[in-house]
């Protein structure tokens, strides 16, 4: 894991003292700590146990047979088959309009099973979760790119994987803070 570091504006003390560390692996993520006031933000992966994997695989199985919408944010059971040829089927949710097919879900299920097997074999979770920008690190679905402050937020609406963003705001009086090495940002206007 290579960390690309640079200084940015701290959201707490408003000085250009936030040391931001950007990682590409196992998925794009950010850790940041203010060199002046001590503000910190980082993300941690979701803990995945035996029961978590079982629940995720059950959920993906229900979506593969079309018994519920692909998108957890919708959760509708009003799903129709658009096309069915052999083992390939396409579905559409009548409430939100989401469309998916069984081939895409088979790939997602296989990625989850591979991760489960790797963890059973003693690998660490962060060595198993691999994803590009905007992908779910567990099932591989394209979920987009969200931020919470400087942290990257992962919330997969297909398998339910999510990370935990931890933000630590220091309990100090900013008027007594003395950091001559780090200047305030310029005020516009």
pLDDT for 1: 66
pLDDT for 187: 65
pLDDT tens digits for range 84-94: 999 999 999 99
Of the given ranges (56-60, 85-89, 143-147), which has the lowest mean pLDDT? Answer: 143-147
Mean pLDDT of 68-81: 95
DSSP secondary structure, the chain, as one string? -PEEEEEEE-TTT-BEEEEEEEE-SSSSEEEEEETTT--EEEEEPPP--HHHHHHHHHHHHHHHTTSS-S-TTT----EEEEEEETTEEEEEETTT--EEEHHHHHHHHHHHHHHHHHHHTT--HHHH----TTB-TTT--B---EEETTEEE-B-TTT--B-EEEEE-----GGG---TTSPBPPPP-
What are the sequence ranges of the domains in the chain? 50-144
The residue with greater pLDDT, 54 or 145, is 54
Whether 161 shows a pLDDT value over 70: the answer reads yes
pLDDT > 90: percent of the chain: 60
pLDDT for 177: 86
């Amino acid at each position: 894991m290579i960390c690309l570091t640079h200084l940015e504006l701290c959201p707490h003390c408003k000085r250009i003292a936030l040391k931001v560390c950007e990682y590409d692996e196992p998925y794009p993520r950010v850790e940041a700590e203010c060199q002046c006031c001590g503000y910190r933000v980082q993300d941690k992966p979701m803990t995945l146990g035996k029961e978590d994997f079982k629940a995720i695989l059950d959920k993906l199985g229900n979506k593969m047979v079309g018994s519920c919408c692909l998108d957890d944010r919708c959760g509708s059971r009003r799903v129709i088959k658009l096309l069915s040829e052999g083992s390939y089927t396409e579905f559409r949710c009548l409430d939100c309009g989401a469309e998916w097919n069984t081939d895409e879900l088979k790939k997602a299920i296989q990625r989850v099973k591979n991760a489960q097997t790797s963890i059973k074999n003693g690998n660490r979770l962060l060595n198993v979760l691999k994803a590009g920008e905007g992908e779910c690190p567990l099932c591989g679905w394209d979920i987009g790119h969200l931020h919470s402050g400087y942290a990257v937020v992962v919330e997969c609406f297909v398998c339910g994987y999510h990370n935990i963003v931890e933000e630590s705001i220091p309990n100090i009086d900013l008027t007594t803070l003395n950091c001559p090495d780090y200047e305030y940002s310029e005020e516009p206007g």
